[in-house]
Amino acid sequence: MYSLPKATQLNTSIPKRAIFEKFKLTYRQRQLINDDIARIDIIGRIAEDTLPAIAVGKEVKVIFVLSISLKRMDYSNESLLLLGRYIPQKMLLVLAYESMRKLVVIHNGIHASEWVVSEELKIPLGGLNYDAVWENMVASIGQISRTEGQSLDEGIERKRQEENWNRQIMSLQKKIKSERSLKKQMTYYSEMMEIRKVAESELLFKPLEKGEDKTINN
């Protein structure tokens, strides 16, 4: 199942009512979970006793794999973050909607893979110990690249900064295209190039080749 070793596989249901009662969720929190989630099952437990080929980490001793059956594909991240907040374990979430699946992990934010058909989903399990397995899992699912010597959290912050710069650039590009005044176009263009300059200095953006930028059409 999803490339999980057989010894790690489980089939244990977690009733939503038990979560509501144990953690005394508010009405709004219950509604968030009820609107998105139909069923929660523990389908895997990755630990030294189920996968002894991997050493125990300093921080991570066990990773639980939960199957989250969704009522809708356009779920709210907040309902998943609630689960992460009230279940204090390292968890890999397998979201299921009809025949589609995606992986989600919560670590310094929420990170998700793309939707794929069930048969194509594979859980990444790589690392010499469970600390490394968890970090590699988060990096793989969240598509987080790290330079040599960079921590996972630094890689996450780097990705957030890159996404923020991209949003700013896209916003400025839209303003340039919709603006009739050449003076304002040039102002927006200068702002955009300043952002690119900072991003390039951080090695997040590849420098533009000569003639590559055609944002302003005369």
| pLDDT band for position 201 (cuts 50, 70, 90) | confident
Domain boundary among 79, 113, 142: 142
Per-residue pLDDT reduced to its tens digit, 80-99: 998 888 888 899 999 999 99
In a domain, 1, yes or no: no
Q: Which pairs count as long-range contacts for 36-39, CB under 8 Å and 24+ apart, including other chains?
A: 36/70, 36/71, 36/72, 36/75, 36/76, 36/79, 37/68, 37/69, 37/70, 37/71, 37/75, 37/79, 38/69, 38/70, 38/71, 39/13, 39/67, 39/68, 39/69
Task: Please check whether residues 133 and 174 belong to one and the same domain.
Answer: no
State the chain's maximal CA–CA distance in angstroms.
68
Q: Which residues pair with 120 in a beta bridge?
A: none
Residue 13 φ then ψ, to 5°: -80, 145
Q: Which of 99-108, 114-123, 125-134, 156-165 has the lowest mean pLDDT?
A: 156-165
Asked if 101 contacts 116 with a C-beta cutoff of 8 angstroms, the reply is yes
pLDDT at 216 over 70: no
Q: CA 60, CA 57: separation in Å to the nearest integer?
A: 5
Q: Please state the rounded mean pLDDT for residues 18-33.
A: 90
Residue 160 has pLDDT above 50, yes or no: yes
HEC string of the chain? CCCCCHHHEEEEECCHHHHHHHHCCCHHHHHHHHHHEEEEEEEEEEECCCCCCCECCCCCCEEEEEEEEECCCCCCHHHHHHHHHHCCCEEEEEEEECCEEEEEEECCCEEECCCEEHHHCCCCCCCCEHHHHHHHHHHHHHCCCCCCCCCHHHHHHHHHHHHHHHHHHHHHHHHHHHCCCHHHHHHHHHHHHHHHHHHHHCCCCCCCCCCCCCCCCC
44 and 108 together in one domain: yes
Task: Tell me: do 35 and 122 sit in the same domain.
Answer: yes
Domain count along the chain: 2
Show the domain range for 53: 6-142
Label residue 211 by pLDDT band (50, 70, 90): very low
- Residue 35 is assigned to a structural domain of this protein: yes
Which of 117, 142, 167 corresponds to the end of one domain?
142
Q: Do 134 and 45 share a structural domain?
A: yes
Residue 82's nearest CA partner among 112, 45, 110 is 110
Average pLDDT over residues 122-133: 94
Cβ(71)–Cβ(36) under 8 Å? Answer: yes
Q: Note the residue count of the chain.
A: 218
Do 102 and 161 have their domain in common? no
Q: What sign does the dihedral 57-58-64-68 (CA atoms) show?
A: negative
